[in-house]
Chain A
Amino acid sequence: MILNCEDRLLDLVALIDIRDFLMASSENQTGCKLDIALVEGAVLSKRDAATLKAIRERSRLLIALGSCAVWGGVAAMDRGADRHQLLEEVYGETGLTYDSTHAQALHELVKVDFNITGCPIEKDHFLAAVAALLNGDLPLYPEYPVCTECRMRENNCLLIERGLPCCGPVTVAGCEARCPDLRVPCIGCRGPIGDANPASLLEVLEQRGFDRRQVVARLRTFAPEEVRL
């Protein structure tokens, strides 16, 4: 999403000194100290864990970027399953030789200074973070549910009025209720709001005839370890 800030990209790189960005450049300073590290993705191997710890050691601020880094993301759905069995199912016996661990959010291994959530992140949230940090400050993001933004856009409620399995009530806002605004139920890709009440949403959906196990799995798609039911 950073490269999707096309209009601001060249201004952005003039304001910050990018030292190590392998996906964009073939010349990087891989050992120097960093003021800020932006880390995307969940930890999925011992190699990833070692890389993350090395980044933490060389950085003053470590920012988790995106739902996988913040919450573990879709790959963390396997936390209850037998990893070896899954590996063998997909890759055969060769799979058992891979360096592969169950998906973990960054904060499970190292201290994370702040999160920019979303799958993908909102590019305005990234730009706001850069602007705040350049002024020695931290950015502020919404701490209310998607429903608040959906109401501000004057949408009809997909959950109450149409009985659709919308995750808006338990999902943190910041997306301007993009999906319900298109008549598509929220799938929770930004992760849960701090004081979410998933039990209540589960009850509402059960009353509307949805299968309990299916709803629980749906609510846990992007942040399986955070949504406890």
Chain B
Amino acid sequence: MSAIVIEHLARVEGHGGITVELEGDTVTNVRFDVFEGARLLEPLVKGKRYDEIASILSRICSICSASHTLTSLKATEKAFGIRVSPQTEMLRELLLRGENIESHALHLFLLAIPDYLNYPSGIALAADKPAAVLLGLRLKKLGNLIQEIVGGRAVHPVNCVVGGFGKAPAVDQLIELRTGLMQAVADSDAVIDVMASLPAADFCHSETFYAALRSPNLDTYYGGDEVMVVSNGNRAIVAAEDYRSLTNEQPVAHSHAKHSLFRGSPFMVGSLARLTVNPRRLTGKLAVAMKRLKLALPADNPMDNNKAQALELINDVERSLEIIEQLLREGVRDERALPVQPRAGKGTAITEAPRGLLIHSYEYDADGRIISADVITPTALNAASMELHFRRAVEQCVEREEAVIARRLGMIARAYDPCVSCSVHLMRKR
């Protein structure tokens, strides 16, 4: 028996590795190893009051802290029967767009693109191709600026509370954002130029199940309550309350991340899944860009997630601009957060975090204290699918040189944009 081991996966958030075991040419075992320590935050929030939950559970992850915060608030508001104002909903959607812009720009330009061009890092890439890296940094900064202005801080937003916001952004701040976003719209073609210029990454093909939020208007990260799973022309709908049928996860000894299967099959979440589940979004400029990137849906190549992120990046910029135009047109009201009347009950919320479906499910007592909390993150949902794609890549690799295989495995892992720190502490016994 031989093994290919990537002990420490580079250029991903958190600490993980990959192990592939072979018997001759046959792959016998594949593992995505997670070494992040278990923080056990779910049991630790038990007994905490509703106004503390989002700020503690957002600490699961610094990159998608806005998603954790808003998913948490949405779950709590559902449990208490609170319906936030339309302005709050718009600002929350804008905040998640900002987070997605920041996360995708960071991932594509500093973590993923260096792979295609054989650079060890975005910093090394900047020495030879400063324009591409500066473009990425500009978009990343814009995403952070949206989060600072709407959420009060780029990481772990402080302005979002149960029932709304501490303070709505001021008109001059929205105008500042509009200026930045208009510049970014002008940068959209350059993003697609960079992506279209990359060499093809064509070394892993596999039939794939995709799962994403099915949104009423086909294009939202915050709204919507149903997940659609798509595979090979078949589709299934899962309501938020039934999320466990999507995540019948099992703890595994090699990782602190649970593994999820839907009807026995691994599934992929994230940008590529979102575009596959809601393909009617892909019109106009996005359709043209999709053609330039040679992306066909449903895709059978996990590397296409990078192309999907690029499409979302330019779409998020446009959607953010639309939200700001609407806010400026209608006027931003200095709303206070709605009063909160706690009540006993359960609330389950699903949103689209940059890396895919994020689920928070809580049960509260009558005083508004947590009885139980369950958090399921996209990287955990993706773990089984990643392992399947690692296996296919090794099987489909004609060359048996370990460095070639290891490079491909690393590229697939990074295409999933895994957040290893997120994936931890979300497996639970059934």
Contact = CB atoms under 8 A, between A and B. Distances in A.
Contacts of A179: 152, 158, 166
Chain A interface: which size bin?
Answer: 35 or more
A68 to B, nearest CB: 8
A75 B39 contact: yes
A26 interface: yes
B155 A74 contact: no
B126 A4 contact: no
Contact of B156 (A4, A42, A97, A119): A119
Nearest to B130: A10
B410 A23 contact: no
Contacts of B11: 22-26
Contacts of B166: 179, 182-184
Given A97-B253, A221-B52, A25 B62 contact: no
A24 B121 contact: yes
A206 B110 CA distance: 50
Given A47-B35, A90-B425, A182-B166, A1 B40 contact: no
A95 B38 contact: yes
Nearest to A12: B123
A113 interface: no
Q: Which of B39, B120, B144, B425 has the most CB of A within 10 A?
A: B39
B154 interface: yes
A97 B38 CA distance: 12
Contact of A74 (B41, B130, B256): B41
Interface string A38-66: 00001111011000000000000000000
Contacts of B121: 21, 24-27
Q: Which of A26, A45, A74, A119 has the most CB of B within 10 A?
A: A26
B152 A182 contact: yes
A193 to B, nearest CB: 19
A1 B154 CA distance: 9
Contact of B55 (A47, A86, A187): A187
A87 interface: yes
Given A95-B38, A179-B158, A22 B56 contact: no
B159 A182 contact: yes
Interface string A100-143: 11010000000000000001100000000000000000000000
Chain B interface: which size bin?
Answer: 35 or more
Contacts of B14: 23
Contacts, number: 159
Interface in B308-340: 336
A13 interface: yes
B428 A4 contact: no
A6 B38 contact: no
A18 B12 CA distance: 17
Given A90-B428, A92-B429, A187-B52, A26 B39 contact: no
Interface in A142-184: 178-179, 182-184
Nearest to B147: A4
Interface in B119-153: 120-124, 126, 130, 133-134, 137-138, 140-141, 144, 152-153
Contacts of A101: 37
A98 B59 contact: no
A24 B40 contact: no
Contact of A7 (B47, B126, B141): B141
A25 B155 contact: no
B37 A91 contact: no
A94 B252 contact: yes
B55 to A, nearest CB: 5
Contacts of A195: none
Interface in A75-91: 75, 77-78, 81, 86-91
A42 B36 CA distance: 11
B141 A6 contact: yes
6 contacts: A10-B126, A44-B38, A75-B40, A92-B251, A98-B256, A103-B39
Given A1-B155, A119-B59, A218-B52, 15 more contacts: A1-B62, A6-B137, A6-B140, A9-B123, A23-B11, A25-B121, A27-B121, A88-B429, A100-B38, A103-B37, A179-B158, A182-B159, A187-B52, A187-B55, A221-B52
Give 5 closest A-B pairs by Cβ, nearest first. A44-B37, A92-B429, A25-B121, A26-B10, A27-B120
Interface of B: 8, 10-14, 35-44, 47-49, 52, 55-56, 59, 62, 106, 110, 114, 120-124, 126, 130, 133-134, 137-138, 140-141, 144, 152-156, 158-159, 161, 165-167, 251-253, 256, 336, 410, 425, 427-429
